[in-house]
Structure 1
């Protein structure tokens, strides 16, 4: 009977996902990820496991090389940069994500960050909590320009929300023109133009070698001094020291970050204690609706992958062979 390790923290023994997997003939092993996990512990947890439903576990080459029976990994979300897909491919392990599974949740959350930053909601609430009564002016979103870095499902879901608030929308993307939605209200531009034109810049790109550190000191120098950065994608897209310097010196106005390079935020992070930078705890995709959908869709993908028919594998081009099923003895 195939064994499936579940590390996504909101999936629990006896829930719908657990029942689905058991009804399909699988044994489940729950080891919720609630913080940083030692690689040795993770490697040990994968011993004798056929498939894994994971959150942001660091599935490195060292860890994967020790998971001799592992045949499939399913990320219960969109980003999969924490998984070494090259090594997984060489070992015959399929890696899947769930594209678009939390797009609506991320879009609504991003809109919330835009509103909160424009109207200084966090600063007001904190001020009241410590005995003050802050009354600084905020800004309206109407008439401003939103720049989207990336054109994935979350960015596309954000566009109509931004337009409903009267914002103009720019987008920079590597998606070929033939594959873009025909939307005359979105203007596609290159990154330098977006940086210099947008009032609010929202990051929705995957973390790759090309995008790691994409928003660095030179990028912030291009931006307006009144510009606001919002990041709900991956922390490492932003050079955090450069961002802290840019906000502290007034090169840009503010930043609202749902993701950081190392999570939870470290005590020595350059993002701490910078007036104008607000860090949240990676909540963009965390709604009850998105979690329910991701859990069940992830379980279905794990079942399909173990049957040799993954629907959302991101590394099929790297698979030289397929591991034989483990025989229980």
Structure 2
């Protein structure tokens, strides 16, 4: 029997390019799309008889490796890997890879799109027009406003470049500044938070204790500022954000990622008109999906054929 490869990424399916690539290498793809939290017994059995896995962003805990006696590699069809217990994977000798450099343009474009939507209040306007109203409230131009970028990996760089091209003043907080880049201003985190009209998160999770954007940092933002998160839901204290939005501490937020996905029915964010939420789709263009999925498939093939994968995150 060919080695079985579990695929949970919901846009991958039988007969596509990834499916054919795996079969060409003597592997058998099996599909179990991730569509929200799985029951406990299903999680425990997810890797039973599986040699490699191409995963969506679902959590992979230490307990899930108990029945993973044949598992050799997990490859994320995306960039983030904080949902995977790397220590447990290493203890079981399981390689973990991701797909960097595949979706940063997609993320940057959606980030700017969310900024434009909040600046021109497009969500409220389109809803009102459908309801028969004709709102004519003034929005804001982006040119001359300040875009703050926290994190300067590929998506942060791409977003900063687009912001500068739109005539925005771009402030960047990063441990890897580019002093010769005159289009951007590299400065400390607190300055970026205080000065930004639009504060966009592009950093990894796990770089600090607790959420990066908590009540004190929300309080430090301008009352006219907008928070944009297309990075990780865990970066933002959602209860503190809901209170800040309700109280007018900041003007608005646009969130593509949340602490719990899908958004729980009891989330305080549901009742707020000044928060725009999308369904973790920043990197989900057709082009980015193709690049990321092929990158993940090649990682699985490389490990199973005893080659070092291109993008390991475990070493």
* Fold-level similarity (TM above 0.5): yes
For the pair 1:310 / 2:309, whether they are aligned, the reply is yes
Aligned to 1:71: 72
Residue by residue over 1:60-98, the C-alpha shift from the partner in whole angstroms, topping out at 9 and shown as x without a partner, is 011123211111000000001110011101111111011
Structure 1: how far apart are the matches of 2:179 and 2:45? 45
The answer to whether 1:205 aligns with 2:203 is yes
Shift of 1:214: 0.9
Q: Distance in 2 between matches of 1:189 and 1:65?
A: 46
Shift of 1:136: 1.3
- Structure 2 unaligned regions, length at least 5: none
Q: Is the 8 A contact 2:179 2:186 kept in 1?
A: no
Q: CA deviation at 1:211?
A: 6.2
Written as runs of structure 1 = structure 2, the 5 A alignment for 1:234-245 is 234-245=232-243
TM-fit CA distance, 1:131:
2.5
Q: CA RMSD in A?
A: 1.3
- Residue 170 (structure 1) shift: 0.7
CA contact (8 A) 2:197 2:222 kept: yes
Give 3-state SS (helix, strand or coil) of 1:224's partner: coil
Task: Return the offset for 1:212.
Answer: 4.0
1:102–1:294 Cα contact (<8 Å) kept: yes
Q: Which residue in 1 is equivalent to 2:157?
A: 156
* Counterpart for residue 287 of structure 1: 285
Residue 45 of structure 1 is matched in structure 2 by 46
Report the counterpart of residue 327 of structure 1 in structure 2. none
Give the 3 Å change call, closer, same or farther, for CA 234–161 of structure 1 in structure 2.
same
Other-structure match for 2:194:
196
Q: Counterpart of 2:273 in 1: which secondary structure?
A: coil
Measured in 2, the distance between the counterparts of 1:129 and 1:161 equals 31
Give 1:35 deviation, angstroms: 2.2
**Structure 1 segments (4+ residues) deviating >4 Å:** none
Q: How many residues align?
A: 313
SS at 2:240's partner residue?
A: helix
Partner deviation per Cα, 1:3-31 (whole Å, 9 max, x = no partner): 11000000001111000000011111111
Q: What is the TM-score normalised by the length of structure 2?
A: 0.96
Under a length normalisation based on structure 1, what TM-score does the superposition of the two structures give? 0.92
Alignment of 1:174-323 (within 5 A): 174-175=175-176, 177=177, 180=178, 182-208=180-206, 210=208, 212-308=210-306, 309-316=308-315
Contact 2:164/2:184, CA 8 A, preserved across alignment: no
Aligned twin of 1:143: 144
> 1:91-144 deviations in whole A, cap 9, x for unaligned?
111110111210010011101001011000001011122232222110000001
Aligned 8 A contact 1:65 1:91 in 2: no
